[in-house]
Amino acid sequence: MTESEEIVEIRRAVQALCAEFPGEYWRAKDAAREYPGEFVDALTRSGFLAALIPEEFGGSGLSLLAAAVIMEEIQAAGCNGASAHAQMYIMNTLLRYGSAEQKAKYLPGIASGELRLQAFGVSEPTSGTDTLSLRTVAVRDGDHYVVNGQKIWTSRAEHSDLMLLLARTTPRDQVASKTEGLSIFLVDMREVVGSGMTIKPIRTMMNHSTTEVFFDDMRIPASSLIGEEGKGFRYILSGMNAERILIAAECIGDAKWFIRKATDYAKERNVFGRAIGQNQGVQFPIARCYAQMRAAELMVHHAAEVYDRGGNPGEEANMAKMLASEASWAAADMCVQTHGGFGFAEEYDVERKFREARLYTVAPISTNLILSYISEHVLGLPRSY
């Protein structure tokens, strides 16, 4: 695949930045469950996190393909883009549906790094994947909204200034279609943490800075509403293709890391007087993962290109996310197997990346829900839920 000079240059620049953050850095952060703030600051300073912000607001106005390549290279270098990826994909909602005032107020600060837009409050403990059943409510009160409810898995909330929040503004039994009555807010967290918003960290199997967020009569200005009241679900859906493509690109980067790591190790490790990689029983799983990764990579690039041409790549973005997350997980498992016992030793980074890579067949959307989308919306099979 021949890539444009711009893409090749982006790859080189991200690789150079990531080289400053080697395995030791990530291992220490992982052990302490600490946010990799230095890495996120470096990404911001370099302009990479503002790739999708138009130039008029201080960003670089790059394509989604370029943004996907940035995320891929971060993962392929052994770093963890989950510390910052939301800024890329949340951006889409603000860019597409935010008012001129909202864009002028927030985008330059986000582009410069003064403001972090890293928190995305959609998931709730009781509704799970069934987003339309969410229970957080926002009730209009003069020139404010009063928010009550709870979110879960709101990653990076402790390290973000802004949160994109999905809440119900009209009760479900008062709307014609169940997709209506939800609204999106851009919440300035600096004004509400400790006065209406409480954040509680959740410790997980990997270092992901995820949290539960509680809203208790949280008052936010009515100007926080993005677009029209009641249309929030539609806005969120339209941003999801970008999110899926970017996450899929991260999975491709992970798969590349695992494949390279396994290949190098298989060449170096000698058992029975020869390199383990001389055995086809060791070679074939690596080769199979490589083929699986390359096939998924084609779908990721194709989905990004459809998106960049202004199309609606619902089918392609979902398939890219499923295939890439499965390719990275297969490569993770293969990499542990290739390393034998050393796959479990922290200093090889394999076990850390293995834990990190496990997430993506579950979140931000699980494989079953993608299969359900393909069944219903692409193949025309009967709706199951």
Examine residue 265 and tell whether it contacts ligand FAD (CB under 6 A): no
Distance of closest approach, residue 287 Cβ to ligand FAD, in angstroms: 30
Q: Comparing C-alpha atoms, which of 236, 241, 244 is closest to residue 312?
A: 241
Q: Can you tell me the distance from the alpha carbon of 188 to that of 182, in angstroms, rounded to the nearest whole number?
A: 19
Q: Looking up tokens 């990579």, which residue turns up?
A: 297
Task: Out of 52, 122, 226, 304, name the contact with ligand FAD by CB under 6 A.
Answer: 122
Examine residue 186 and tell whether it contacts ligand FAD (CB under 6 A): no
Examine residue 270 and tell whether it contacts ligand FAD (CB under 6 A): no
DSSP reduced 3-state for 177: coil
Distance of closest approach, residue 154 Cβ to ligand FAD, in angstroms: 5
Q: Can you tell me the distance from the alpha carbon of 377 to that of 54, in angstroms, rounded to the nearest whole number?
A: 32
x/- string (CB under 6 A) for ligand FAD, residues 141-160?
Answer: ------------xxx-----
Q: Can you tell me the distance from the alpha carbon of 208 to that of 231, in angstroms, rounded to the nearest whole number?
A: 30
Q: Can you tell me the distance from the alpha carbon of 251 to that of 325, in angstroms, rounded to the nearest whole number?
A: 5
Q: Which is nearer to ligand FAD, 295 or 371 (CB)?
A: 371
User: What are the helix (H) ranges across 176-313?
Assistant: 232-268, 280-308
Examine residue 52 and tell whether it contacts ligand FAD (CB under 6 A): no
Examine residue 126 and tell whether it contacts ligand FAD (CB under 6 A): no
Examine residue 233 and tell whether it contacts ligand FAD (CB under 6 A): no
Contact 265, 339 (CB under 8 A): yes
Distance of closest approach, residue 281 Cβ to ligand FAD, in angstroms: 32
Examine residue 133 and tell whether it contacts ligand FAD (CB under 6 A): no
Examine residue 363 and tell whether it contacts ligand FAD (CB under 6 A): yes
How many amino acids of this chain bind ligand FAD (CB under 6 A)?
22
Distance of closest approach, residue 101 Cβ to ligand FAD, in angstroms: 26
x/- string (CB under 6 A) for ligand FAD, residues 188-227?
Answer: ----------------x---x-x-----------------
Dihedral pair phi/psi, residue 54, rounded to 5°: -60, 155
Q: Cα-Cα-Cα-Cα dihedral of 46, 51, 56, 58, to 10°?
A: -20
CA 111 to chain CA centroid, Å, is 18
Examine residue 369 and tell whether it contacts ligand FAD (CB under 6 A): yes
* Structure-block tokens of residue 205: 């199997």
x/- string (CB under 6 A) for ligand FAD, residues 273-312?
Answer: ----------------------------------------
The residue range among 26-34, 318-326, 329-337, 363-371 that interacts with ligand FAD, by the rule CB under 6 A, is 363-371
* Structure-block tokens of residue 91: 């951006």
Query: What DSSP string describes 294-338?
Result: HHHHHHHHHHHHHHHTT---HHHHHHHHHHHHHHHHHHHHHHHHH
* Structure-block tokens of residue 151: 């979110």
Q: Which is nearer to ligand FAD, 118 or 263 (CB)?
A: 118
Examine residue 19 and tell whether it contacts ligand FAD (CB under 6 A): no
Q: Which residues pair with 202 in a beta bridge?
A: 210
Give the interface with ligand FAD as residue ranges (CB under 6 A): 120-123, 128-129, 153-155, 204, 208, 210, 359, 362-366, 368-369, 372, 385
